[in-house]
Amino acid sequence: MLTADLDDRTPAGIAAAVSRSIRSGALPPGTRLPTVRDMARELKVSPATVNQAWRALAAAGAIVARGRAGTFVGTPPAGSAGTPAGRYQRLHPRSDNAFRIDLSRGVPDPALLPDLTAALRVLASDGAIDRLSATYLGEAVLPELERLVRADWPWRAERFTVLDGALDAVDRLLTAHVRLGDAVVVENPCFPPFLDLLARLGARPVPVGMDESGLLPGDLAAALATYAPTAVLLQPRAQNPTGASLSARRVRELAAVLADSPAVVVEDDHCAGIAQAPPRSLGARRPDRTVHIRSYSKSHGADLRLAVAAGPGRLLDPVIERRMLGPGWTSRLLQRVLAHMLTDAEAAAAVAAARRAYRARADALRKALAGHGIALPRPDGINLWLPVADENAAMISLAAAGIKAAPGGPFEVTEHPRTDHLRVTVAAVPESGIADLAAHLAAAASAIPTYRRVRRTEQF
């Protein structure tokens, strides 16, 4: 009995007791655990208390949720110690060496960001620094910033809030609305931190295929019918890593597929300002079940740490209320900086120039790759999704030329994708060296491993 000697019935106490039972062997790998509701009933605590403990155990790899089949004690990898590295750490390891050209980062060109100096001068001259830095009260969203973003929001949303970047917003929304074992639809390929966040929650990512216009409606319909997902997580434009953007027709198709689904849609518009596609959202057709997140990191500066999230109050209010018990709000000083930049002619011109530069660099690289027989769809944003014969061989080929790209593996939701890829960030492409770079990328795309692949089924 799991609860025989359980005195501490807090989430930490429950997690510690189950962890002790697993380490002692009392709960061997593969053991099916009680449901959250059964455990809560036995302990006479709320299901939320047990769910929090189960999440912590899942994040540590101690238990594994298998959807309707239940939750089971996991099997630790032989010789493992501590928490395994997530996909994002694999994508950007701390041991990265310097390369002649680094195309792996997925970040904007610092030279194309607007100047913050003018906005800071305005804050200093009108006394905003003194006024805003002295209060714990007031709205979490600066009223002038909310007025600005409402003006071109994809639909008339009920509630707006400001958070510390798009990932912070996604994290808080998933934590508020996704439970252990829940299925969550994701794009395949997918932004690696999304998969890491779902793993930490003990949720199951359900991959849905894409084309140049976003999620495939037929694949989404099949996922809804099979898994009854709690949420759908997508990037409406300049999808990372493929550069796909939702078309108006695809928005209508996806909204029709989701018409009878209770799933919450969370949209991460991470390339607002520098994407070519107009702002589109399923919220225009599903306003009661969609939260749209607009990040200003790539357009105005990552260190602003600002993203606006908007949607129905029933989805955003739990996030806002929980946040008041922690950081409370995102710096209103930084919000004021952004509000100034959104209305400043020079800042607007800089963002527009960056948008044109990224499109020109991507087009030039695509044209050069086409000369080597590699045809790619026209991406939006700052990334290209380059198919290669073998990921490792391609990375080695580029490294030999002093070039680093991002491996495609961390982006893939499924274990065995049909085609290997690299993600290439065009924001960092030196315009003078595009022809040379395309030649190296083409050579990497066709590189094959010098070793013999060993299949797992082979017997020795």
Compute φ and ψ for 189, nearest 5 degrees: -75, 165
Model confidence at 82: pLDDT above 50: no
Topology (CATH) of 113-345 = Aspartate Aminotransferase; domain 2 (3.40.640)
Contact between 425 and 382 under an 8 Å Cβ cutoff? The reply is yes
Query: What pLDDT score was predicted for residue 417?
Result: 87
pLDDT band at 136 (very low <50, low <70, confident <90, very high): low
* Omega before residue 207 within 30° of 0, cis: no
Query: What pLDDT score was predicted for residue 81?
Result: 41
Amino acid symbol at 176 = A
Considering only 76-90, 290-304, 379-393, 415-429, which range has the smallest mean pLDDT?
76-90
pLDDT digits (tens, 9 = 90+) for 290-302: 999 999 999 999 8
Model confidence at 419: pLDDT above 90: yes
**CATH numeric code, 11-73:** 1.10.10.10
pLDDT digits (tens, 9 = 90+) for 287-343: 999 999 999 999 999 888 999 999 999 999 999 999 988 888 898 889 999 999 999
Average pLDDT over residues 8-12: 76
Model confidence at 138: pLDDT above 70: no
Contact between 16 and 6 under an 8 Å Cβ cutoff? The reply is no
pLDDT digits (tens, 9 = 90+) for 176-221: 999 888 999 999 999 999 999 999 888 999 999 999 999 999 999 9
DSSP codes of every residue in 346-410 = HHHHHHHHHHHHHHHHHHHHHHHHHTTT------STTEEEEEES-HHHHHHHHHHTTEE-EESGG
pLDDT band at 448 (very low <50, low <70, confident <90, very high): confident
Average pLDDT over residues 159-164: 96
Amino acid symbol at 106 = G
Please tell me the distance from the alpha carbon of residue 307 to that of residue 271, in angstroms, as a whole number.
11
State the burial class of residue 233 (Cβ atoms within 10 Å of its Cβ: 0-12, 13-18, 19+).
Answer: buried
Compute φ and ψ for 247, nearest 5 degrees: -90, 165
Please tell me the distance from the alpha carbon of residue 344 to that of residue 330, in angstroms, as a whole number.
22
**For 87-111+355-446, which CATH class?**
alpha beta
Model confidence at 348: pLDDT above 80: yes
Average pLDDT over residues 117-125: 80
Query: What pLDDT score was predicted for residue 50?
Result: 87
Query: What pLDDT score was predicted for residue 93?
Result: 64
Helix (H, G, I), strand (E, B) or coil at 267: strand
Residues in the chain: 460
pTM of the model: 0.83
Model confidence at 225: pLDDT above 60: yes
Please tell me the distance from the alpha carbon of residue 446 to that of residue 368, in angstroms, as a whole number.
16
Query: What pLDDT score was predicted for residue 460?
Result: 31
Model confidence at 389: pLDDT above 90: yes
Residue reference for tokens 């913050």: 116
Candidates 284, 272, 63, 264; CA nearest to 154 is: 284
Model confidence at 79: pLDDT above 50: no
Please tell me the distance from the alpha carbon of residue 160 to that of residue 98, in angstroms, as a whole number.
41
Contact between 389 and 447 under an 8 Å Cβ cutoff? The reply is yes
Domain map (residue ranges) of the chain:
11-73, 87-111+355-446, 113-345
Tokens of 413: 């939701």
Please tell me the distance from the alpha carbon of residue 329 to that of residue 327, in angstroms, as a whole number.
6
pLDDT band at 11 (very low <50, low <70, confident <90, very high): confident
pLDDT band at 158 (very low <50, low <70, confident <90, very high): very high
Compute φ and ψ for 182, nearest 5 degrees: -65, 150
Average pLDDT over residues 131-137: 61
Model confidence at 276: pLDDT above 60: yes
Model confidence at 429: pLDDT above 70: yes
Helix (H, G, I), strand (E, B) or coil at 32: strand
Query: What pLDDT score was predicted for residue 198?
Result: 93
Contact between 277 and 246 under an 8 Å Cβ cutoff? The reply is yes
